A and B are shown apart, each in its own frame.
Chain A
Amino acid sequence: MNVHLILFLAFGAVAVAGAINLLAQTHPINSALSLIAVMAALAGEYMLLGAEFLAAVQVIVYAGAIMVLFVFVIMLLNAGVEERTQGSRVAFLFGVPGVLLGSILLGWVVLRHSGTESVAAGALPGDPKTIGQLLFHEFLLPFEVTSILILIAIMGAVVLASKPPSEPTRKVD
């Protein structure tokens, strides 16, 4: 047990607990908070892998901006406890064994065939300088295309979320 493995297990335990808590909670705000815990734990994992800039961006963009948007919408819509509905019995009957079988198969394949190669702590330093050089030289075109995507997303969000003009309200039938 070295320090790297202990840290990995600690952050991984937080991530797993957060993911399970997201499923277990019925109130969306609790789910959102556990998702923030998962993202913070993943930022720690990125740090262990040496992706320090990604870890910072994960906290700022994901746990910060995106989750604030989620929490904002939850509070705006005053979302309450969700009512559980019974799923179809066939799905339950085949879903649970299917999930068990699939996860056992996946775990076996991953453990068996990914070998015993380990990833050293900080194996690949992803500091802002090297990331930036890569981003603005080799990935310049995708970078520009994503800026257009962001622009379209902004316009779409504004159009969708803005109130429709107060024309004669159509009656819902």
Chain B
Amino acid sequence: MVPLSYYLMLSGFLFACGVVGFLIKRNIITIFMSIELMLNGVNLSFVAFAAHWHALAGQVFVFFVMVVAAAEAAVGLAIILAVYRTRETLNVDQVNLLKL
């Protein structure tokens, strides 16, 4: 038996790590991975609450989060490819204009 709060703390820690990575990282791909880490942290709390309240809908929501994450990853990585093609850099400090 694991207290629900342990799951929530782990989930919160993963989300916080994602936020920190989003803010301090300078590589656009790593920033993108930090977003995935945040989504994973949220998913864990979804599943923990689903088990706690005996509501299976929480697990179905995790599916939708995964689907949206997959779509986001595909589009985001395509955008990264386009950015790299025009700017030849992955450093977000040098990507500060929408249009060249």
Query: What is A's interface to B at a CB cutoff of 8 Å?
Result: 2, 4-5, 8, 12, 15-16, 19-20, 22-23, 28, 31-32, 35, 38-39, 42, 45-46, 48-51, 53-54, 57-58, 61-62, 65-66, 69-70, 73-74, 76-77, 79, 82-85, 87, 95, 99, 103, 106-107, 110-111, 114-121, 123-124, 126, 130-131, 134-135, 138-139, 142, 146, 149-150, 152-154, 156-161, 163, 172
**Could you list some 30 contacts between A and B, CB below 8 A?**
A8-B7, A15-B10, A16-B10, A16-B13, A19-B37, A22-B33, A22-B34, A23-B21, A31-B30, A46-B47, A54-B47, A54-B59, A62-B40, A70-B77, A77-B80, A79-B29, A85-B93, A103-B16, A118-B2, A120-B1, A123-B52, A124-B54, A135-B60, A135-B63, A149-B68, A150-B70, A153-B70, A156-B75, A157-B77, A160-B81
The number of chain B residues touching the other chain, given as a range, is 35 or more
The 4 closest A-B pairs by CB, nearest first: A153-B71, A118-B1, A160-B78, A19-B17
Residues of A close to B37: CB separation below 8 A? 19, 22, 35, 38
Q: Of the candidates B13, B18, B47, B67, which one forms a contact with A149 in the assembled complex, judged by CB atoms under 8 Å apart? A: B67
| B interface residues with partner A (beta carbon < 8 Å) | 1-10, 12-14, 16-18, 20-21, 23-27, 29-30, 32-34, 36-37, 40, 43-44, 47-48, 50-52, 54, 56-57, 59-60, 62-64, 66-75, 77-82, 84-86, 90-91, 93, 100
